[in-house]
Chains A and B, each alone.
Chain A
């Protein structure tokens, strides 16, 4: 698209949006452009890039806080934190391989998509670590909420509302996080062999132990045998103790082994970035369920269609893949989405289409909300962006600009 603007400041964004609001020009917001495929496609009159709003504005390791402009590359933040032995505890993932996108992921994009990696079930989500935002709403007002301290209940928590709003409520200009120390040492225990029901039981056993695993995933058999992965963290001198306890706890589920440091890092990167389904023709979904419901859900959907999957978040996150052939046999991405949503009936949870092989056919990437809740969400959108100019339609396909 030729019409792309690169504002240098919050004020410039406000000016652009104010004008756009007045003449109903729609805007697609671009951070690094690496996640534009997430959510429903946006067809806007212009693009606005946050890439010139870049840089860490404050970092106090002793207070566990970092503040950065929204266009700051994620790597820059991760590097600064790593230098002090700290990190973003929600483990943001790089989806470039999965989405087949290029560019540099920005921290604003991470927040807007609200995406959290394997540590989410233990260390919290992006929205849990986010403690402050500055943003420009759909009428061009500059708004702040939250701040740079981790305990803050002053007024309503709009920070949460902005996290994961896919740029539909406002254009983020600055974000603040609570960060945490990195563990001295991490390791992965592998339990080889179990089919999904036993694997889910093993994950539950580890999750309900006092050993506080920070990663709990399951990779079903492919060309390799099925594996339950348990990531543990702690002090160098103490980690062996946890590893031994967990190994004892799970020995009845299969053959126990340990990954070496490189394998350990690689495998969690693969889980985080969903590498298993990257570069393959087909569609990818994230399904969020109560871990206790994962087994029942899998039993239902695996009966319905030829699907591949793997589990993260102790069974609470199920990544599902359908190859083009499966899509063809089941009514495309929309058809498989229906199968997955039906699989949730009576148990709760939600299905999000992350990458569609045949995007044009898909009505909505996101699970529709119950009518009462959808009405509240629509009313909130109306309050933040009355002319519906910010990323129109990204979260709700029916919200595309009329005419």
Chain B
């Protein structure tokens, strides 16, 4: 699957670039349209930086109405649209094509309502994930889904990808914390779905919008669940001589009825890289580290940690270090939070994101090391162990032309393995372009056809983020039948 290809840009659009820009400027105003190539280049990629292509233009609306006008115009002209939050997607979800208009929500970042009695917050979708928690933190509330990119990523992108985070084992992912959206359809229609109340009547459109990767409409506002912070939280660091044993320990903790808020796993290569980078005090002579965090009152925390230590003892741990202060807790998390940065210091890397049944953990980790040997590339694992969501980081050298290809082939093999053992291609990063061509390993034609028919409903013209999520040969007919450029 190496060398993921995007459709050839529409020649008519490319030929009439300047007329199109004139239309955008005259109908939308120059305050919100960016077309200078020196500036559009800032939007040429997302977090999957190996793939780049500046869009034809970028529009940054200041209101839902402006989003609506922009989409309506693009719909009339037949221009492909790439919705964009903060552009941190790791799967190429926000990657433009040369004939597309990027519509970004970065200017939509107001908080519209906070209702503590109902435990909801309503925001414009460009606000960052951490920004939401920041708004309510003073009152001891928080927004639960916490992707590691939370400082940068927008709620819009979180909804687009149905993002997760370290604390999802207990609190769920975006879809479990999203109560309503205001969304603009491709034709400019503004719809509202859900709200502060639970379980709206009718089909669960909100559920299928969340995670639709910008292919159904542009979300401009969202109502989110906020939660009261627990009285306290404390992590424990557990080190083991083998990944198998660490995996078994994870499963035993869950079986024992303890529900930690987080169970993060690091394998040998990841531990060494993180320790070198963050100096978190991790033991570097173990093969696997678990960070297990529990919450509650001081008594509840003690009791849970005691139980966890008992279980862990049965697995003969090499290290068992319970945090005794806020500073120690920070240190335990510091290495994990720096993982991506740490790996970036060593090499270029691709971050994979498959999920497996947790019972398959030892087998899959073992297979992965064999594959690493086969491809001659290193792989480090940092992931959410409680829910089986793996993040193998495959290290490669972008200056060696064949390395990226090898890395992608290796990544594809890992993801196929995830599917084979009963898991899936992506647990939280989305399909984007990265896993697009692997969809056939998880879904048969009918499974995909049913999904495509839902896109037909929301975006009959197939203009929204059109060449993503599904193999392009499968969507070819739909994209080309419907997506006809009309002269500007």
Contact = CB atoms under 8 A, between A and B. Distances in A.
B203 A145 contact: no
Contacts of A63: 251, 254, 357-359, 388
Contacts of B254: 61-64, 181
B13 interface: no
Contacts of B208: 156-158, 160-161
B439 interface: yes
Contacts of A72: none
Contacts of A180: 259
Interface in B395-439: 422-431, 435, 439
Contacts of B205: 161, 373, 376-377, 380
Contact of B257 (A161, A182, A207, A366): A182
A376 B458 contact: yes
B65 interface: no
Nearest to B195: A348
A184 interface: yes
A141 B229 CA distance: 46
B230 A157 contact: no
Contact of B251 (A62, A121, A145, A235): A62
Contacts of A379: 457
Given A290-B195, A383-B453, A395-B202, A153 B258 contact: no
B40 interface: no
Contact of A208 (B119, B356, B387): B119
Contacts of A156: 208, 211-212, 451, 454-455
Contacts of B303: 235, 237-238
Given A160-B204, A377-B203, A153 B196 contact: no
A309 to B, nearest CB: 16
Interface residues of A, number: 85
A348 B197 contact: yes
Given A151-B355, A290-B120, A350 B197 contact: yes
Contact of B203 (A150, A161, A348, A370): A161
A288 B356 CA distance: 36
B288 to A, nearest CB: 17
A125 B255 CA distance: 23
Interface stretch (A46-54, A100-108, A163-171, A270-278): A163-171
B161 interface: yes
Contact of B426 (A153, A163, A373): A153
Nearest to B458: A376
Given A150-B387, A288-B197, A155 B358 contact: no
Contact of A147 (B422, B449, B458): B422
B443 A369 contact: no
Interface in A56-75: 60-65
A121 B198 contact: yes
B310 to A, nearest CB: 14
B191 A160 contact: no
A250 interface: no
Contact of A84 (B255, B357, B384, B424): B255
A188 to B, nearest CB: 19
A137 interface: yes
Interface of A: 60-65, 84-85, 114, 116, 120-121, 124-125, 127-128, 137, 141-145, 147-161, 163-165, 169, 180-182, 184, 204, 207-210, 212, 234-235, 237-238, 241-242, 288-293, 313, 316-317, 348-350, 352, 366-367, 369-370, 372-374, 376-377, 379-381, 383-384, 395
10 contacts: A153-B161, A154-B442, A210-B231, A290-B117, A292-B117, A292-B118, A293-B196, A369-B201, A373-B205, A374-B202
Given A143-B447, A182-B257, A293-B118, 20 more contacts: A114-B199, A127-B204, A150-B388, A151-B164, A153-B429, A154-B425, A157-B175, A157-B212, A158-B454, A159-B207, A161-B207, A164-B203, A208-B228, A288-B199, A290-B195, A348-B195, A366-B202, A372-B185, A383-B450, A384-B450
